[in-house]
Amino acid sequence: MNEASTIFALSSAPGRAGVAVIRVSGPAAQAALEMMSGPLPKPRFAAYRTIKHPTTGEALDRAVVIWFKAPSTETGEDIAEFQIHGSRAVIAAILSALGKIAGCRLAEPGEFARRAFENGKLDLAEVEGLADLIDAETDAQRRQALAQTAGSLSKIYESWRTRLIEIAALTEAAIDFSDEGDVSASSFAEARKRAASLQKEVAAHLDDGHRGEILRDGFRVALLGPPNAGKSSLLNVLARREAAIVSAEAGTTRDVIEVRLDLAGLPVIVSDTAGIREAANDIEREGIRRSLAAARDADLVLWLTENYESIPPLSFSRETSLEIRSKQDLGFESEISGLAISAKTGAGIDQLIAEIARRAHAAVGSGTEPALTRARHREALENALKDIGVFLNGPADAIELRAEDVRRAAHALGRITGRVDVEDVLDQIFSRFCIGK
């Protein structure tokens, strides 16, 4: 990336809208704003201007412009913002005009966020929170992402890292005073005492049933059962649309079909799957393989059957599965104790939705404590925990090695917020953003 370059992009969603927002960030933002809209407005005050082409002077739009002066801006650089009419033609004309200005070029995906990170406006965990906030589909996801982008997780991880640095200092002191046996021993004992209490906190944070990750990625429910049990019919009722094909022919569904639902603010992903039986052919066999894979990945498996004959050929644990009797309107005799539903009449559907929501809530918890949201963080925390374990249990006479354990643990934590060298993960994180963020 060329540091000196000024970037611009459409920051609002592409397509026709009342208003579209184009942002320009970098040293040439001021020149761009002046060339296209006249004298620089007072910082952070909206000005209504005619937007002109920088070379031809042609009027392109009448729009609101705002000037943000570095360094108190989102990227830490000068930013010019154009709030223009949201038609494809106006957007295209202004983007093309900006491209004519020396030093200005179209931004890469996530480049605004990357500059914010590089200028110390956001740390990496906060950047990831921002990405999640942009992707949030439900209220609970929004809350978790907003807290993360405001630093809720960074605070915890940074405070742990600070404590590790203190533990490292105590260990170093133990090395320095190794001639004075008592001082050295007590310093090292204090370091280990503190490491033991930190170990407990990190372990408790890791042992959270993946609630933050489930909230971020969605609570997964798989619909399984014999062919013609009414799985696709149930999916359509839950989705309130004809998401899957329903027919009287057994073996209709082959691919896994997913719909995303917002159940009481929680993201729930329901997968309809191929009916489980001795497969008639290769396509069906592959469908069944996919059903079983969906069941394995699910947080909850709904086993749907019309009657008692169809006992699950697989074993799912009580906590993660639920037996449901389908086609309740047909009035079959059944020994299935679970809920009875009818996709046709709607009987039992509200109870089923309430039960799924109850389980999803139980899986993500109360949400009062900030939860781990990403595998990347989990990996770093597990590494830190491993090193703390070695620090606590490794031979105390090899004290230089023990100091090294603590440094490694601190380094692992530093990777979460990007306090230490993290070049290897940056591209991966920022390229996930859309252009304009």
Q: Is 248 annotated as a binding residue?
A: yes
Which of the choices K ion, ligand GTP, Mg ion, none does residue 330 contact, using the CB cut-off of 5 to 8 A by kind?
A: ligand GTP
Q: Is 251 annotated as a binding residue?
A: yes
Residue 71: CB atoms within 10 Å: 11
Q: Is 38 annotated as a binding residue?
A: no
Q: Which is nearer to ligand GTP, 112 or 316 (CB)?
A: 316
Q: Which is nearer to ligand GTP, 277 or 408 (CB)?
A: 277
Which one of residues 129, 251, 338, 370 is an interface residue with ligand GTP (CB under 6 A)? 251
Q: What is the 3-state secondary structure (H, E, C) of the chain?
A: CCCCCEEEEECCCCCCEEEEEEEEECCCHHHHHHHHHCCCCCCCCCEEEEEECCCCCCEEEEEEEEEECCCCCCCCCCEEEEEEEECHHHHHHHHHHHHCCCCEEECCECHHHHHHHHCCCCCHHHHHHHHHHHHCCCHHHHHHHHHHHCCHHHHHHHHHHHHHHHHHHHHHHHHHCCCCHHHHHHHHHHHHHHHHHHHHHHHHHHCCCCHHHHHHHCEEEEEECCCCCCHHHHHHHHHCCCCCCCCCCCCCCCCCEEEEEEECCEEEEEEECCCCCCCCCHHHHHHHHHHHHHHHHCCEEEEEECCCCCCCCCCCCHHHEEEEECCHHHCCCCCCCCEECCCCCCCCHHHHHHHHHHHHHHHHCCCCCCCCCCHHHHHHHHHHHHHHHHHHHCCCCCHHHHHHHHHHHHHHHHHHHCCCCCHHHHHHHHCCCCECC
Region 99-138 residues binding K ion, contact defined as CB under 5 A: none
Q: Using the rule CB under 5 A, is 291 a contact of K ion?
A: no
Q: Is 11 annotated as a binding residue?
A: no
Q: Using the rule CB under 5 A, is 273 a contact of Mg ion?
A: no
Which one of residues 1, 46, 89, 330 is an interface residue with ligand GTP (CB under 6 A)? 330
Which one of residues 344, 361, 407, 419 is an interface residue with ligand GTP (CB under 6 A)? 344
Q: Using the rule CB under 5 A, is 252 a contact of K ion?
A: yes
Name the one range near ligand GTP by CB under 6 A: 134-142, 169-177, 242-250, 373-381: 242-250
Q: Using the rule CB under 6 A, is 227 a contact of ligand GTP?
A: yes
Which of the choices K ion, ligand GTP, Mg ion, none does residue 108 contact, using the CB cut-off of 5 to 8 A by kind?
A: none
Name the one range near ligand GTP by CB under 6 A: 72-80, 139-147, 245-253, 288-296: 245-253
Region 78-107 residues binding ligand GTP, contact defined as CB under 6 A: none
Q: Is 81 annotated as a binding residue?
A: yes
Q: Which is nearer to ligand GTP, 133 or 304 (CB)?
A: 304
Name the one range near ligand GTP by CB under 6 A: 57-65, 135-143, 246-254, 402-410: 246-254
Q: Using the rule CB under 6 A, is 351 a contact of ligand GTP?
A: no
Region 275-294 residues binding ligand GTP, contact defined as CB under 6 A: 275
Q: Using the rule CB under 6 A, is 327 a contact of ligand GTP?
A: yes
Q: Is 72 annotated as a binding residue?
A: no
Q: Which is nearer to Mg ion, 304 or 406 (CB)?
A: 304
Binding site for Mg ion (CB under 5 A): 231-232, 252-253
Binding site for K ion (CB under 5 A): 228, 247, 252
